Each structure stands twice: as C-alpha cells, then as structure tokens.
Structure 1
Amino acid sequence: MNKTRILKRSLLAVAVAATTSQAHAAGFQLNAQSATGIGRAFAGDAVIADNASSMARNPATMALFDKTSLSLGFEAIITDISVKDAQGFSQDAGGYVPLPGYDDVGGTSIAPNIHLIVPVNDKFAWGVNAYSNFGTSTDFSGSDYWNNSAFGGETDILSMNIGLSGSYRLNEQWSFGAGLDIIYGKGTIRRGAQELNLPPAVQLVNIQDADGWGVGFNVGTVYELNENNRFGLSYRYSPEIEAEDDHGQKLTLPLPDMAEFSGYHRINETAFAVHYSVQWIGWSAFDKIDFENLDPTRSLAGIPDGTYSKPYEWQDGWHFAIGGTWYLNDKVTLRTGYMHDTSAQDEITSISVPDSDRNWISAGATYHFSDDSNMDFGITYLIGSDEAVSEEGGAVLATTRADAILVGLQYSHSF
C-alpha cells in the first residue's frame, strides 16, 4: 500500500468511526450520575442509596426510600489529552518523518443531573431522572496540522438519558426494580483531509448538530441482610442511536449494555462503612459504525453510494471499585474511593480515541443542613497511561495519553 497518500475511504473510517473520544472512562462512557458517586469512585453505587441518584445505577434501590427524595447537581469534566512522538510514513523520504505533537486536545464539559423518587406505600415507589451516560468533547483547532487532518478535527458528542422507573419490595430482604430509558444524542464531527506531505485541501466529513433518539431499559434487585449489610445487582440495555443532521447525513452508533454488582457494609454500628462495585461494560457491541447519505458538497470522501461501514472491534470493559465512608457526626460525612477501569480498545487503536487502562483516586464529603437536606461535593483525579497508537497499518504512529479531573456538586432534599 502507498502509505504516503492515505486513501480517503480509509481516512474517513479511522478518523470518524469513533465518533467520540475518551472522556473519563473507557470507550466514551460517562459516570455523571452524582457528585456522591464521584467522591467514592462510584464504589457501591448500585446499593448504597444515600440519595435519589442511586436509581440511575439500580432502580431497585428506590424501595429503600420512605420519603419523596430529590437530588440535583452537575459534574464538571476537565480533560487533559495529548499526542506526542507522532510520525508519518513517507515513501519519498524512504521512512517515517516527524509530525507535530499536541498537548491541548481536551477541554471542560458540564454534565447536569436530576433524580426524583416518590414512594407510593411500603411496597411500591416510582421515579424519574435525567442524566448522561455517554459523551465527550475534543478539539484540535489549536494545531494547524491536527485541526485539518483526518486524525484530529473536532468531536463534540453529548447524550441525555431520560428515565422512568418503578420498584417493588417483596419482603424485608428482597426488592426489585425496572425502568425505561429514552436516550437523546447530539453531535458534531468535523475532519479535514491533510495528507502527510500536502497542505489542507478538502474536508472529509462535516456533520454538524446531528441528533437522534433511542429506547433502552434497566432492571435490578437489592438483597438486604440487615440495615447495615446489603447487595445490589443491576443490568442496563443500551440501544443503537441513529443520528441525522440537517443535510441528511446519518450515522448509527451502537452503545454498550452494562451490568453492575455492588455491596455495602457498615461495620458493627460504627461510624465507618466499606462498599465496592464490579461493573461490566459490553463494549464488544461497538463493532462498527455505519454512515449513510454522505453529502458530497460537505464531505469529499469519495464514497460512490453514500454509505460506509467501518469495523471497530472493541473489547468488553470492566470497572473494579472499592471505597469507604466515615459518618463523622450529624453534620458531616466523608468518603473516598479507588477504581481501576480497563480499556475498551483492543487491536485497533486511534489518535482520536486515546484509550487506556485508568486509575481513579476519589474523595468527597456531605454537609447535612438538616435531617432532610444536604449538599454533596466530590472530586476525582483520573490517571491514564501513555499508549502507542498505529493508524492505518502504520501510516501514522503516535503516543497518546488522556487524564482528567472530575468535580461534582449536588443538592438533595427529602419531603
């Protein structure tokens, strides 16, 4: 293959197929349900049920509430993504030539959330919520080369999960829950077509403000040994999202299913509790992305029939989290946590998706204004690793790294 002139079909496949870049979990998963979860690396979140946001991880936890409970807050995601040691193969030069690095790919995104749980009686409860499970934002506009290349450009993806759930308490030990998820997705994807030895010339793809809807569901259960020891198990089905922009350009994005097991144990009525979670994320569903009806006036990819499918072949991912909570007094609760998060990428890697195994270091606190009102704060430092990336069989090589800081603030009230 002539590696100097990268074929336009291949450029489109590599640069656009992963429509999102790493935000702060493997693949393009967000953990943006609550500031409480951020403060403990989401360890035990499918069973702790210390505020209404727990319904986002396990609908069965709604059975643990005896009052109407409201939580609302936001998460700030500050990403630090870099590309270094980049080089491209040039047949004219008889080998690899240096390409510019870039250390300012990431940015700051805000993800709001709201959760409401309403107990009907001692058996039934219902709830509604809105938050995000997937999304990211990256922009190479600060670099002349990467901004206009097929491996950089701009990616701005957001999603909103609107949920309606119900729970049923079978007895003192067992509770069950289920919910319906309406998922809205919106995104902008812009990629240039700069080749290794040529200035910016054409635009490979320019999809702006494409949006679409999908429907998923979630189920869960909670088992209580007693009020200080309980376990939770949940499963979430995620649909494919088909998004279309105003020019009729479409992309179909498969989303992963998720399953989570959590435990919570308050030790001998003391002020300390330990909690943990294991989460599976079915990223192997992200096998390809389909593109349809690419507008030749906006995308010069040279695809005759206007359709394209690119295999991506990710692997399933895992989260392993453990945390601790200290109930200092009636006013203050402190928490901390650690999570190991495995990469979704397998053999196929990408500069526009700088994925790797990650480690979370988290801390947080709750201040109780009263028995029914409190404020949560959480912060996480997410540590990535340097990963060697090869694009299009070695046409472009680079080392990528993605770190992040997550900050969350949340207010909760019971009525």
Structure 2
Amino acid sequence: MNKKQIFTRSVITAAIALASSQSMAAGFQLNAQSATGLGRAFAGDGVIADNASTMAKNAASMTLFDAPALSLGVIAIDTDVKVKDTGIRTPLNPNRPLPIDDASIGGTSYAPNIYYIQPINDKFAVGASLYSNFGTKTEFNEDYAADLFGGITDVKSVNLGLSAAYRINQQLSIGGGLDVIYGSGKLERGRNSPLLGGKDAVNIDADGVALGFNLGTIYELDQNNRFGLSYRYSPTLEAKGDINYLGRDIGNEKLKMPLPDMAEFSGFNKLNDKFAVHYSIQWIRWSEFDKLETTGGTFSKAYEWQDSWHYSIGGTYYLNNQWTLRAGYMHDTSAQNKETSISVPDSDRNWLSGGFSYHLDSKSTIDFGLTYLIGKDVSVEESQAPLATVNATTRANAWLYGLQYSRSF
C-alpha cells in the first residue's frame, strides 16, 4: 500500500465515495479529546484547565499550569445507525422501488489520548499531545440489497500536537502549535456487484500524513473568570493509496480534499467555592469542502456542504476534596445540506453529558465521562447513475464513554 499525505484518510475514503457519486457526511465528526471534556459536553474545555487535555482545545491554556501535568485516557464511541423505509430503483424497475429490509448498523471505535505540559518558567510553557479526531465504523451485511450505497466505512485518525504558550501579562496569554496528522480509512461499496461483473464499485484502503497548525489566546479577568479564543487551520490534503473505482485501479492519482478550518470561543466562570459554569461556541468551515477531485481529473464531484456549529453549556460542582461532578449539553448542527448518505448518516445532534473526577490524592485524579448523542430522522436519496437510486430514512445515535488518569508533578 502506498502511503502519502493525507489526513483522516477517513475522509479520503469518504471522499472517493462522493467522487463516485456517493455522498459522505461530516457525520460522526465527534469530539473525543478527553473524559473530562466528554462529561461536560466539551463546554468551556479550552479554558477550564483542570488537566493537561485542555491543550487540545487551546494551546494558550498551558500558561495556567505552574507544575508539569500529564493526562492519558481513552474514549469509546459506540454508534447505533438505523436505516429504514428503504427502496431501490434500477434500470429493471425504474418506476417502482424494490423494498429492502431495515438495517441496523454501527460499530465501536476507540480514541486514545495522552497529553503532557511542561512549564519552563512563570511565563513560558511547552507541551505535546496525541489524540484522535475521528473514530467511527459502519458496516452493512455483504448481502444487503443496497450494498452499492452501504458497504463498509471505517475511519481512524491520530493527531500529534507540539505546542508552546507565553504569558504576556497577568491577564493575557497566547499559544500555538503544529499538528502532525496521521489518518487511515477503509471504504467498500457494491462488494462483488453483479452489475459490475463481480467487481467492487468502490474499494479504498489508504492512509497518510498532513500538517496543520493552531493558535489560541486566553484572557483572565481574575482567577475565577476567564475566556478563550482559538483557531485551527486545516489544509487541502492530497491522498495516495489503494483506490479502485468500477473495477479500475486509479491508485496512480492523488485525491485532493479540502478540510475545514475551525474557530472556538469558550468561557469559564466560577460563581463560588462549589459551583462553576462554562460554555463554548465552535464554528466549523465545512463550506470550503466544495468538491473532491483527483489530480488526474478522473473524478470531480461537487459538494454543497454548509458551515456547522457547536453550542455547549455545562456546570461543575466541587462536592468535596475527593469528588468533582460535571454535566453539560451541546447542540451540534449538521454539515450536510443537499447531499445525504445511508452509509454515514448526518443530522443536527444533541449531546447529553455527565461525568465525575475522583481525586486519589492532591496530585492524582481518575476521570470518567459519559455522553448520549441523539440524532434526528433524515430522508435520504442518493444515486449511482445509471446503476441505481436508493431512498431511505436514516437515524444515527451514539454512546461515548471516557476514562482518564491525570497527574501533576
């Protein structure tokens, strides 16, 4: 297998799907940076700074640490995808859709993470991080009548971050970092399709590496009230790997894929010794994902995606010296506009989150987070002209479980 630049080759997989007249969504672009963040729906995650994972959201938050800090953990993403009311039209039945049995798909992905922050002095800090941006899997049975649109989608990515932060004065800090992103993706559609003489319609197994960067700033009104703003740049990636379309090997071409930039505002307000509120607004520039095309021009597929938003609010209750409780809610808007898919359904989503920290001692903490992600019914129509068109109703929900160990030195 060839290995070259690309980020979540996951999206390359999606990419080619689209390029091959299938549409893939931003669906399941799930936050999975930490168990503490998961337990509060990532509300205010870039400025709370209760452990080292805060650097994933805002590098400037590293100046809030006066001692070395380590966090490591894992998040399990268990997706539940329903495909119902499905009918498929082919040249043999162009006017009357052939009913297809309902399908229940989904899978479990694991997103590990590790963070380390090293203060150099009272103004300067550096850090390193390793975590996952994407992790999801959907798989239809191979005998599914609409396998041309279902198949297998398996996406994973790992982000290595190298960051630095500087405190300008008592109130203002700045930070930034380089993101080295490794991604892998597997996509299969129309497995052993009789319409294609027993060949797969799409078969992709590829991975690669790309570079991005992030910038952030934090303003501290006082020790109990602070606000943050961060920006993450994602480049247009060129992917190389095993790529087959309609039985033809086109692995000699690269797939160009624009990825969305992101900006986030977050705040933290500790109202008294027991309770704090926190909140975030994140903007994801999915509108720049206008089309997917290969360098050789074999594929050129237009997309009409839209910018999406995350709005979250949460609360933290400091019960005593051993227990900290947290909860949060997020509303997450869909990136899909006119393009929809049965393989990776997308919709507006609501997050219901809760979690806790148990302080083993003054320097060590065990964190747990739980989120139920609720999607909506979406009417889907997608076409693989001139072979077939499918209509269905999809709904995607998910459970996320996070466990983490944090320590200061």
TM-score if structure 1 supplies the norm length? 0.87
Q: Which residue of 2 aligns with 1:319?
A: 310
Kindly, what percent of the aligned residue pairs are identical?
A: 58
Q: Which residue of 2 aligns with 1:264?
A: 268
Measured after TM superposition, the shift of residue 340 of structure 1 is 0.3
* Secondary structure of the corresponding residue to residue 36 of structure 1: helix
Measured after TM superposition, the shift of residue 94 of structure 1 is 5.8
Answer yes or no: is the 8 Å Cα contact 2:118–2:125 preserved in 1: yes
Name which of 187, 190, 207 aligns with 2:188.
190
Q: Which residue of 2 aligns with 1:412?
A: 406
Q: Which residue of 1 aligns with 2:247?
A: none
In structure 2, do the counterparts of structure 1 residues 11 and 316 end up closer, same or farther at CA, with 3 Å as the change threshold? closer
Q: Which residue of 2 aligns with 1:156?
A: 154
Q: Report the Cα distance in structure 1 between the residues aligned to 2:142 and 2:104, rounded to whole angstroms.
A: 8
Q: Report the Cα distance in structure 2 between the residues aligned to 1:364 and 1:337, rounded to whole angstroms.
A: 9
Q: Report the Cα distance in structure 1 between the residues aligned to 2:100 and 2:195, rounded to whole angstroms.
A: 14
- Is 1:255 matched up with 2:259? yes
Q: Which residue of 2 aligns with 1:68?
A: 68
Name which of 360, 363, 366 aligns with 1:369.
360
Measured after TM superposition, the shift of residue 252 of structure 1 is 3.0
* Secondary structure of the corresponding residue to residue 46 of structure 1: helix
Measured after TM superposition, the shift of residue 13 of structure 1 is 2.2
Give the letter aligned to residue 226 of structure 2: R
Q: Report the Cα distance in structure 2 between the residues aligned to 1:258 and 1:320, rounded to whole angstroms.
A: 13
Q: Which residue of 1 aligns with 2:212?
A: 216
Q: Which residue of 1 aligns with 2:224?
A: 228
- Is 1:281 matched up with 2:277? no
- Is 1:240 matched up with 2:236? yes
- Is 1:139 matched up with 2:139? yes
In structure 2, do the counterparts of structure 1 residues 229 and 292 end up closer, same or farther at CA, with 3 Å as the change threshold? same
* Secondary structure of the corresponding residue to residue 37 of structure 1: helix
Q: Report the Cα distance in structure 2 between the residues aligned to 1:275 and 1:106, rounded to whole angstroms.
A: 32
Q: Which residue of 2 aligns with 1:301?
A: none
Q: Which residue of 1 aligns with 2:99?
A: 99
Measured after TM superposition, the shift of residue 292 of structure 1 is 5.6
In structure 2, do the counterparts of structure 1 residues 13 and 198 end up closer, same or farther at CA, with 3 Å as the change threshold? closer
In structure 2, do the counterparts of structure 1 residues 103 and 186 end up closer, same or farther at CA, with 3 Å as the change threshold? same
Answer yes or no: is the 8 Å Cα contact 1:365–1:378 preserved in 2: yes
Give the letter aligned to residue 285 of structure 1: E
Q: Which residue of 1 aligns with 2:5?
A: none
Give the letter aligned to residue 206 of structure 1: N
Q: Report the Cα distance in structure 2 between the residues aligned to 1:250 and 1:91, rounded to whole angstroms.
A: 33
Name which of 388, 395, 407 aligns with 2:389.
395
In structure 2, do the counterparts of structure 1 residues 319 and 200 end up closer, same or farther at CA, with 3 Å as the change threshold? farther
Structure 2 counterparts to residues 28-177 of structure 1, below 5 A: 28-90=28-90, 92-93=92-93, 95-141=95-141, 143-146=143-146, 149-177=147-175
* Secondary structure of the corresponding residue to residue 112 of structure 2: strand
Q: Which residue of 2 aligns with 1:386?
A: 377
Answer yes or no: is the 8 Å Cα contact 1:290–1:310 preserved in 2: yes
* Secondary structure of the corresponding residue to residue 320 of structure 2: coil
Task: Provide, for residues 42-99 of structure 1, a one-character-per-residue CA deviation record: whole Å limited to 9, x for no partner.
Answer: 0001111110000000000000000000000000000001111111235654623233
Q: Which residue of 1 aligns with 2:245?
A: none
Q: Report the Cα distance in structure 2 between the residues aligned to 1:106 and 1:359, rounded to whole angstroms.
A: 18
Measured after TM superposition, the shift of residue 29 of structure 1 is 1.9
Task: Provide, for residues 187-226 of structure 1, a one-character-per-residue CA deviation record: whole Å limited to 9, x for no partner.
Answer: 111111788x969832112122x11111100001101111
Measured after TM superposition, the shift of residue 136 of structure 1 is 2.4
Measured after TM superposition, the shift of residue 125 of structure 1 is 0.1
In structure 2, do the counterparts of structure 1 residues 118 and 11 end up closer, same or farther at CA, with 3 Å as the change threshold? closer
The number of aligned residues is: 383
Q: Report the Cα distance in structure 2 between the residues aligned to 1:132 and 1:173, rounded to whole angstroms.
A: 31
Measured after TM superposition, the shift of residue 241 of structure 1 is 2.9
Q: Report the Cα distance in structure 2 between the residues aligned to 1:411 and 1:137, rounded to whole angstroms.
A: 26
Answer yes or no: is the 8 Å Cα contact 1:256–1:282 preserved in 2: yes
Q: Which residue of 1 aligns with 2:20?
A: 13
Q: Report the Cα distance in structure 2 between the residues aligned to 1:361 and 1:50, rounded to whole angstroms.
A: 21
Q: Which residue of 2 aligns with 1:297?
A: none
Give the letter aligned to residue 201 of structure 1: G
Measured after TM superposition, the shift of residue 10 of structure 1 is 9.8
In structure 2, do the counterparts of structure 1 residues 179 and 314 end up closer, same or farther at CA, with 3 Å as the change threshold? same
Q: Which residue of 2 aligns with 1:302?
A: none
Q: Report the Cα distance in structure 1 between the residues aligned to 2:98 and 2:47, rounded to whole angstroms.
A: 51
Unaligned runs of 5+ in 1: 1-8, 294-304
Task: Provide, for residues 274-294 of structure 1, a one-character-per-residue CA deviation record: whole Å limited to 9, x for no partner.
Answer: 10000001111222222467x
Answer yes or no: is the 8 Å Cα contact 2:233–2:262 preserved in 1: yes
Unaligned runs of 5+ in 2: 1-15, 243-250
* Secondary structure of the corresponding residue to residue 145 of structure 2: helix
Q: Which residue of 1 aligns with 2:328?
A: 337
Q: Which residue of 2 aligns with 1:359?
A: 350
Measured after TM superposition, the shift of residue 352 of structure 1 is 2.1
